[in-house]
Protein backbone atom coordinates (compact mmCIF):
# COMPACT_ATOMS: atom_id res chain seq x y z
CA UNK A 1 0.00 0.00 0.00
CA UNK A 2 1.27 3.43 -0.83
CA UNK A 3 1.83 5.84 2.01
CA UNK A 4 -1.01 8.29 2.37
CA UNK A 5 -0.28 11.99 2.06
CA UNK A 6 -0.21 13.81 5.37
CA UNK A 7 -1.66 17.13 6.31
CA UNK A 8 -4.29 17.41 3.61
CA UNK A 9 -7.19 17.96 5.94
CA UNK A 10 -8.94 20.34 8.27
CA UNK A 11 -10.57 18.88 11.34
CA UNK A 12 -13.41 20.40 13.32
CA UNK A 13 -14.46 18.94 16.65
CA UNK A 14 -17.71 20.18 18.15
CA UNK A 15 -17.05 20.42 21.88
CA UNK A 16 -20.75 20.55 22.70
CA UNK A 17 -21.30 17.15 21.15
CA UNK A 18 -18.06 15.43 22.16
CA UNK A 19 -18.45 13.35 25.32
CA UNK A 20 -14.76 12.58 25.61
CA UNK A 21 -15.03 8.81 25.27
CA UNK A 22 -11.52 8.73 23.81
CA UNK A 23 -12.11 6.26 20.98
CA UNK A 24 -10.73 8.61 18.32
CA UNK A 25 -7.71 9.46 20.47
CA UNK A 26 -6.88 5.82 21.14
CA UNK A 27 -7.29 4.45 17.65
CA UNK A 28 -6.21 7.30 15.33
CA UNK A 29 -3.41 5.65 13.35
CA UNK A 30 -1.43 8.90 13.11
CA UNK A 31 -1.96 10.03 16.72
CA UNK A 32 -3.44 13.31 15.56
CA UNK A 33 -5.96 13.70 18.35
CA UNK A 34 -5.65 14.13 22.10
CA UNK A 35 -7.97 14.65 25.03
CA UNK A 36 -7.89 18.20 26.32
CA UNK A 37 -7.96 19.25 29.95
CA UNK A 38 -11.73 19.65 29.71
CA UNK A 39 -11.99 15.98 28.77
CA UNK A 40 -12.92 16.71 25.16
CA UNK A 41 -11.05 15.64 22.07
CA UNK A 42 -8.64 18.15 20.51
CA UNK A 43 -6.62 18.26 17.36
CA UNK A 44 -3.01 18.09 18.52
CA UNK A 45 -1.01 17.32 15.38
CA UNK A 46 -3.05 18.29 12.36
CA UNK A 47 -0.13 17.89 9.96
CA UNK A 48 0.07 14.16 10.65
CA UNK A 49 -3.53 13.39 9.61
CA UNK A 50 -3.70 10.92 6.73
CA UNK A 51 -7.42 11.41 6.13
CA UNK A 52 -8.25 7.79 6.84
CA UNK A 53 -11.72 8.62 8.12
CA UNK A 54 -11.51 6.40 11.17
CA UNK A 55 -12.41 9.10 13.65
CA UNK A 56 -15.40 10.32 11.65
CA UNK A 57 -16.88 6.85 11.30
CA UNK A 58 -16.23 5.80 14.86
CA UNK A 59 -17.29 8.92 16.71
CA UNK A 60 -20.54 7.81 18.37
CA UNK A 61 -21.59 11.41 18.77
CA UNK A 62 -20.92 12.72 15.26
CA UNK A 63 -18.71 15.40 16.73
CA UNK A 64 -15.74 15.21 14.33
CA UNK A 65 -15.68 16.58 10.81
CA UNK A 66 -12.67 15.92 8.62
CA UNK A 67 -12.62 17.74 5.31
CA UNK A 68 -10.10 18.34 2.59
CA UNK A 69 -8.00 21.48 3.12
CA UNK A 70 -9.73 24.58 1.89
CA UNK A 71 -13.02 22.86 1.18
CA UNK A 72 -16.00 24.99 2.03
CA UNK A 73 -18.20 23.96 4.86
CA UNK A 74 -21.52 22.76 3.57
CA UNK A 75 -24.27 24.38 5.65
CA UNK A 76 -26.43 21.54 6.93
CA UNK A 77 -30.10 21.68 6.09
CA UNK A 78 -30.88 22.22 9.74
CA UNK A 79 -28.86 25.41 10.07
CA UNK A 80 -31.92 27.65 9.92
CA UNK A 81 -33.34 26.67 13.28
CA UNK A 82 -30.05 27.38 14.98
CA UNK A 83 -29.66 23.80 16.16
CA UNK A 84 -26.40 22.97 14.43
CA UNK A 85 -23.62 22.03 16.78
CA UNK A 86 -21.75 25.22 17.55
CA UNK A 87 -18.23 25.42 16.33
CA UNK A 88 -16.23 27.04 19.13
CA UNK A 89 -12.55 27.16 18.49
Partner 1 sequence: MADITELIHDYLRHNKKFPHVFCAGCGHGIVLGALIRSIHALGLSKDEVCIVAGIGCSGRIAAYVDFNTVHTTHGRALTFATGIKMANPKLKVITIMGDGDAMSIGGNHLIHAARRNIGVTALVLNNNIYGMTGGQCSATTPQGATTQTTPFGQMEKAFDIVTLAAAAGANGVYRGSTFHVNMLDRLVATAIERPGFNLVEIITPCHTQYGRKNKYKSAVDMFKWIKKNCVPKEKFDALPEADRGEKMPIGTFVEKDHKGLEQLYGELQARLNRPGRPVAEPEQPSAQHAEESRNIMNKEPK
Interacting residue ranges for ligand SF4, rule: CB under 6 A? 11, 28-30, 32-33, 49-55, 66
Q: Is 29 in the site for partner 1 (CB under 8 A)?
A: no
Residue 28: name its binding partner from partner 1, ligand SF4, none (Cβ under 5 to 8 Å by kind): ligand SF4
Q: Is 4 in the site for partner 1 (CB under 8 A)?
A: no
Concatenated DSSP letters of 14-49: -TTT-----HHHHH-TT--EEE-TTSSEEES-GGG-
- Smallest distance, Å, CB 75 to partner 1? 9
Contact predicate 54/29, CB 8 Å: yes
Amino acid sequence: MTKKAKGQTEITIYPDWCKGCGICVEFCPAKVLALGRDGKARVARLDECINCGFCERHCPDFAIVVRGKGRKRRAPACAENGETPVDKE
